[in-house]
Amino acid sequence: MTMQADYAITFFYYDDLAPIARFYEETLGFELVVDQGLARIYRVGRSYFGIVDGNKGHLKTTPKSAALFCMVTDDVEGWHARLSAAGVRNLTEIRSATWCDRFFFFRNAFSGGRVISVLTVTPTVTVCNRRREPTWS
């Protein structure tokens, strides 16, 4: 029997959630679906992303992170303009590559030093054949 997950949540740990929460909620406009106090979970399109207080969560923050958070969108230019207008610094130029149609990166104090990428890709294969939204209680 094949086991299937309903959805996944990636969590980033931070030392101070307040400024980070403002960035994800106000600057990026992520929809907060669960506030557990020590963790906040956001709906990002059909995916979920969470932030955790590294002083209270199961894991602790580290000085450097090898994690990369990618937002997939058809409007890379619009996101670049939105973030630039919001004062987000260290935005790279919009680029193209063989693995991605258009993309840019940023890492700054707003993102807690984490690298975030905004990109668009042309899917060549359907990876998921079912869609099931989680229900939060």
Domain extent at residue 88: 64-122
**CA distances from residue 87 to 7, 46, 58, 81, 94 in whole angstroms, order as listed:** 33, 27, 32, 10, 17
- Whether residues 79 and 118 share a domain: the answer is yes
Exposed/middle/buried for residue 41 (C-beta within 10 Å: 0-12, 13-18, 19+): buried
pLDDT confidence of residue 98: 72
- Whether residues 57 and 77 share a domain: the answer is no
pLDDT, tens only, 5-63:
677 788 999 988 999 999 999 999 999 999 999 999 999 988 999 999 988 888 888 77
- Whether residues 73 and 48 share a domain: the answer is no
pTM for the whole structure: 0.73
Domain boundary among 61, 86, 106: 61
Q: What is the spatial distance between Cα 100 and Cα 124, in angstroms, rounded to a whole number? A: 12
β-bridge mates for residue 52, sequence order: 13, 39
pLDDT, tens only, 102-120:
899 988 767 777 888 898 8
- Whether residues 12 and 46 share a domain: the answer is yes
Give the CATH number, domain containing residue 113: 3.10.180.10
- Whether residues 70 and 55 share a domain: the answer is no
pLDDT, tens only, 56-88:
888 888 777 667 788 888 899 999 999 999 988
Domain boundary among 24, 44, 61: 61
**DSSP character for 27?**
I
**DSSP character for 113?**
T
pLDDT confidence of residue 123: 57
Domain boundary among 17, 39, 61: 61
- Whether residues 32 and 13 share a domain: the answer is yes
Cβ count within 10 A of residue 119: 20
